[in-house]
């Protein structure tokens, strides 16, 4: 019998890639999203063909029980921003996720996969940090709410007897990523990309295709349930190396403006202080969250995922940046990205 899966945030960047993969793996896929169509043309094709059915709604008000039973639940939706009010973030990321778990339990789903973030560890200079590393997120609503949510998932699922998996992706990039890749590739293509300390710190990029393959694989591996996993491409590349591959894929000369880390942090703190002082609600162009992760080594071990469910990020950094550049070339260069 065909397995059935629910993907929340199905029309978003990661949700769309995951839903498309699930269709290709033979799943009956339903999704919940505040939008009914995606930027992802492949997913839209599956929606039009009736292979993915999208229900419009959000985590806090949608009647999940109206969907009937599903075998797997992928909780991808959430509030994502480097700016805002922690209460608003927790309401969506914690309370909304709890509603999804209650639904999964009520229909006897095999597992709930929750998408968290390596941002829960904070920025303190990590190389090959395992899942057992201390979690000290910076005082940022996104980072804090992700830690609150994943802690709730682990504790609540154990309490009610619902199988779960917590997945922490690194810095996700790829085609249809309007959160970061579009702006980054635009700046690199124009020779206007700024880096900190010449981009010498290790980062934790993960290509969207590798990430969703990992999410799918852990979800169908019962022996890996009820645990947490960091998922990156595992290369240990520096930001400069990643951007050099990006420039090569775009067919331009690598050209980056370098700023010292201390000046970058001071600038971000000053700007944030100004926004807080005058109670400006829109997110500043430069935030401490975006700066800090480029001022330290920020790299995580994926050995646990390799061992427990055979995670194998097959798409290389060269190939991932090439695919992303091919998508970027199809996009207009004057899109205003919502923040």
Q: Counting Cβ atoms within 10 Å, is residue 102 exposed (0-12), middle (13-18) or buried (19+)? A: middle
Output the pLDDT for position 335: 63
Contact 83, 145 (CB under 8 A): no
Domain 4-176+204-233+301-313 grouped into CATH 3.90.1300.10: no
pLDDT value at residue 334: 59
- Per-residue confidence (pLDDT) for residue 68, from 0 to 100: 97
pTM above 0.85, yes or no: yes
Are the beta carbons of 339 and 83 closer than 8 angstroms? yes
Cα distances (angstroms) measured from residue 138 to each of 85, 116, 120, 234, 268: 14, 15, 8, 23, 14
Give the number of other Cβ atoms within 10 Å of residue 65's Cβ: 11
pLDDT at 295: 93
**Per-residue tens of pLDDT for the chain, all 339 residues:** 789 999 999 999 999 999 999 999 999 999 999 999 999 999 999 999 999 999 999 999 999 999 999 999 999 999 998 778 899 999 999 999 999 999 999 999 999 999 999 999 999 999 999 999 999 998 889 999 999 999 999 999 999 999 999 999 999 999 999 989 999 999 999 999 999 999 999 999 999 999 999 999 999 999 999 999 999 999 989 999 999 999 999 999 999 999 999 999 999 899 989 888 888 888 887 888 888 989 999 999 999 999 999 999 999 999 999 999 999 999 886 565 554
List the beta bridge partners of residue 129: 300
Instruction: Please tell me the predicted confidence (pLDDT) of residue 306.
Output: 98
For the chain, the domains span 4-176+204-233+301-313
262-307 pLDDT tens trace: 999 999 899 989 888 888 888 887 888 888 989 999 999 999 999 9
Q: How many CB atoms lie within 10 A of CB 68?
A: 10
User: Given phi > 0 = left and psi -120 to 50 = alpha, else beta, which region is 226?
Assistant: left
Confidence (pLDDT) at 182: 95
């Amino acid at each position: 019998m065909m397995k059935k899966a629910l993907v929340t945030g199905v029309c978003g960047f990661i949700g769309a890639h995951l839903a498309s993969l699930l269709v290709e793996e033979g799943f009956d896929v339903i999704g919940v999203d505040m939008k009914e169509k995606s930027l992802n043309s492949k997913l839209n094709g599956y929606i039009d063909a009736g292979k993915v059915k999208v229900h419009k709604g959000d985590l806090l008000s949608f009647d999940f029980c109206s969907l009937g039973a599903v075998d797997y639940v992928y909780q991808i939706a959430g509030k994502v921003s480097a700016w805002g009010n922690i209460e608003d973030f927790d309401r969506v990321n914690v309370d909304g996720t709890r509603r999804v778990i209650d639904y999964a339990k009520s229909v006897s789903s095999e597992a709930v996969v929750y998408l968290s973030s390596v941002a829960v560890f904070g920025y303190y200079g990590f190389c090959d940090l395992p899942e057992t590393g201390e979690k000290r997120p910076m005082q940022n609503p996104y980072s804090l709410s992700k830690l609150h949510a994943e802690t709730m998932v682990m504790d609540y699922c154990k309490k009610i007897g619902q199988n779960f998996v917590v997945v922490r992706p690194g810095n996700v990039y790829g085609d249809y990523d309007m959160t970061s890749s579009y702006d980054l590739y635009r700046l690199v293509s124009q020779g206007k990309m700024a880096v900190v300390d010449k981009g010498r710190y290790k980062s934790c990029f993960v290509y969207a295709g590798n990430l969703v393959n990992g999410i799918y694989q852990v979800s169908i591996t019962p022996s890996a349930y009820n645990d947490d996993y960091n998922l990156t491409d595992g290369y240990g590349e520096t930001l400069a190396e990643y951007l050099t591959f990006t420039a090569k894929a775009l067919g331009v000369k690598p050209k980056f403006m370098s700023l010292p880390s201390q000046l970058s942090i001071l600038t971000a703190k000053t700007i944030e202080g100004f926004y807080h002082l005058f109670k400006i609600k829109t997110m500043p162009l430069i935030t401490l969250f975006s700066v800090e992760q480029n001022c330290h080594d920020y790299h995580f071990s994926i050995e646990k995922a390799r061992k427990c469910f055979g995670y194998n990020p097959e798409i290389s950094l060269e190939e991932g940046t090439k695919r992303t550049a091919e998508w970027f070339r199809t996009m207009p260069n004057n899109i205003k990205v919502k923040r």
